[in-house]
Amino acid sequence: MSKSKGARDTSTQILIDGGTVRMGSDVFYAEEKPIRYRLVDPFWVDITPVTNRQFAAFVEDTGYLTYAERAPDLSDYPEADPALLVPASAVFVPPSHPVPLHNAGLWWRLVPGANWRHPYGPDSDLHGLDDHPVVHIAYEDAEAYAKWAGKRLPTEAEWEFAARGGLVGAEYAWGDELAPQGRRLANYWEGAFPYERRNDDGFARTSPVGFYPPNGYGLFDMIGNVWEWTSDWYSMANPVESAKPCCAQRDPRGGDEAGSRDPLDPTHRFGRKVIKGGSHLCAENYCRRYRPAARHAQAVDSSTSHIGFRCARDA
């Protein structure tokens, strides 16, 4: 790959001074517990998620093909029908009526030809979406872009530190109320998920980066819009680790690949990374993960219409 003409361009980043971050929440989901403390060194972080315009510049410069644009390798999926191993990605397809919320297969569909250029399927394109976050990004795609740009992916602790914007212990990136004085401050799902979305912001899916107000550090879209990859392998927090600010560990990098694999997956083939921030599909009645503390395990071989990323680099 050639070197980016804009490598180490600090105009698109903000310097975070670092310090002690209070991570997690004891209020919402089990994987967020317990509250714990981390020491984070100073770092630079992108002001917005990487956009379609920015990702297109990377692809034009390098000729890179994303994971979703390549046919899966049969050796990775030996139990699969070879005829089904075609370039594809997962697209949110809303049902027209209420459905049980325990079965995500009722609103997710693996769509051949869906990728970052065609976010809703092969008949869609990026018209009007230049400044929206790029989606259908697998972990290796995010890493490739970051390397090209002279950056890296943030750790989970860095990401949460940045998302909190200087607020200690607040449940949301702007305080303890989801919609203070009725004001919507991020792109999340309003209405009964997954069939009834009230598009009061004018966007049925992603929104342009910067459409909603920044957090206390001047960072946009840390909450909602798209999930974002971090560099940490997924693991559950130790119940007794770093429970006091005085004993904070210095930005540990999560678990290891073997330990991150899904115990419910009989193949145990792919590790899972931590993704943060929630997306436009998070709703009060489903997946209330539009918060800094929220975290989710995502297999590195997967890409979807609601996962993107932003970059960081050492100060």
- CA–CA dist 44, 10 (Å, integer): 8
Q: What is the CA radius of gyration of the chain?
A: 19
SS3 content of the chain, % helix, strand, coil (to 5): 20, 20, 60
What pLDDT is stored for residue 241 in this prediction? 60
Domains in the chain, CATH or no CATH each: 10-52+125-314 (3.90.1580.10)
> Rounded distance, CA 22 to CA 8, Å?
29
Dihedral Cα 123, 126, 132, 136, nearest 10 deg: 50
Weakest mean pLDDT among 26-30, 42-46, 163-167: 26-30
What's the pLDDT at 257? 83
Q: Does the pTM exceed 0.85?
A: yes
**Sorting pLDDT into bands at 50, 70 and 90, what band is 5?**
very low
**Over residues 157-182, mean pLDDT:** 94
Task: Give tens-digit pLDDT for 260-272.
Answer: 888 877 666 899 9
Coil, strand or helix at 251: coil
The yes-or-no verdict on residue 201 having pLDDT over 70 is: yes
Q: List pLDDT tens digits, range 203-250.
A: 999 999 999 999 999 999 999 999 999 999 998 876 556 666 666 676
Average pLDDT score, the chain: 91
Residue type, 135: V
Quick: pLDDT tens for 48-94: 999 999 999 999 999 999 999 999 988 888 888 888 899 999 999 99
> Where does residue 308 fall: left (phi above 0), alpha (psi -120 to 50 degrees), or beta otherwise?
beta
Contact by Cβ (8 Å): 202, 284: no
Percent of the chain with pLDDT strictly greater than 70: 90
Question: What's the CA gap between 114 and 242, in Å, rounded?
Answer: 42
Question: Which position has the higher pLDDT, 80 or 152?
Answer: 152
